Amino acid sequence: NAGVTQTPKFQVLKTGQSMTLQCAQDMNHEYMSWYRQDPGMGLRLIHYSVGAGITDQGEVPNGYNVSRSTTEDFPLRLLSAAPSQTSVYFCASTPNNPYEQYFGPGTRLTVT
Amino acid sequence: AQSVTQPDIHITVSEGASLELRCNYSYGATPYLFWYVQSPGQGLQLLLKYFSGDTLVQGIKGFEAEFKRSQSSFNLRKPSVHWSDAAEYFCAVGAQGGSEKLVFGKGTKLTVNP
């Protein structure tokens, strides 16, 4: 199993550009989530999904969209990038509740 | 809403010394609690978790944590720190009683002196 994979590893965007951060897992986990990590802030939940076709907002959802058309994939879309979205983004999955979350390696995004 | 407080932003210990990292949470019922470790430039690795039962939890790399309901705490301990333990440590609680959404503390950075 590859576990949780994220692409790209690094990305630089200009303000106003859009892009999609990819996340995939091959463990058949029902739950998936996106977090952003900023210095001194820990990780904060952006969006999460409890199954294909079901998504919900987390603590910091503004400026981000998600969809979950398959169990395996959970892409995060930035509609119009802003410098405040410069961060490291982590995707995670978990099979059920309660269970630990498995994290991907992260995507470092810089918006100029 | 749930919250997690890690009071120490940065801790420095000498190699071989004991370590305790503090974590306090706010949640009305029995929480799901986690400790994760992050080495520089890396992802998060689970050290240990608490769901129910025995309040002293053993994890990987010689770490343990104790759940104390009366103090709303879940402190991480290690009897003898190794230089390779230098990293950032995050405590997390399952939001709203679940584990599909985690609320993280802001982290404690550990420096280990030779």
Can you give the length of chain A in residues?
A: 112
More confident of the two residues B100 and A8: A8
Are A100 and B49 in contact by the 8 Å Cβ rule? The answer is yes
Q: Taking residues A2-10, what's their average pLDDT?
A: 94
pLDDT at B1 over 80: no
Contacts of B101 in chain A (CB under 8 A): 33, 45, 48, 58
The minimal CB distance from A100 to the residues B46, B90, B107 is found for: B46
Identify any residues that bridge with A64 across adjacent strands, giving them in sequence order: A78
The minimal CB distance from B43 to the residues A42, A98, A106 is found for: A106
More confident of the two residues B27 and B13: B13
Tokens 């997690």 belong to residue: B4
Q: Judge: B104–A31 Cβ closer than 8 Å, yes or no.
A: no
**Which of helix, strand or coil describes residue A98?**
coil
Q: Taking residues B8-13, what's their average pLDDT?
A: 97
A48 at B interface, C-beta within 8 A: yes
Contacts of A36 in chain B (CB under 8 A): none
The answer for A 6-35 residues in CB contact with B (under 8 A) is: 31, 33, 35
pLDDT at res. B70: 92
DSSP code string of chain B: --EEE---SEEEEETTS-EEE--EEE-SSPPPEEEEEE-TT--EEEEEEE-SS-SEEE-GGG-EEEEEGGGTEEEEEESS--GGG-EEEEEEEEGGG-SSSEEE---EEEEEE-
pLDDT at res. B97: 65
Q: Judge: B101–A100 Cβ closer than 8 Å, yes or no.
A: no
pLDDT tens for A29-71 read 999 999 999 998 999 999 999 999 999 999 999 999 999 999 9
Alpha helix locations (H) across A1-112?
none
Q: How far is A43 from chain B (nearest CA, A)?
A: 6
Are A49 and A66 in contact by the 8 Å Cβ rule? The answer is yes
Q: Taking residues B5-21, what's their average pLDDT?
A: 97
Long-range contacts: B46-55, Cβ < 8 Å, 24+?
A: B46/A100, B46/A101, B47/B76, B47/B89, B48/B76, B49/A100, B50/B74, B51/A98
pLDDT at res. A20: 98
pLDDT tens for B15-64 read 999 999 999 999 877 789 999 999 988 899 999 999 988 999 999 999 99
B54: left (phi over 0), alpha (psi -120 to 50) or beta: beta
Q: Taking residues B66-92, what's their average pLDDT?
A: 96
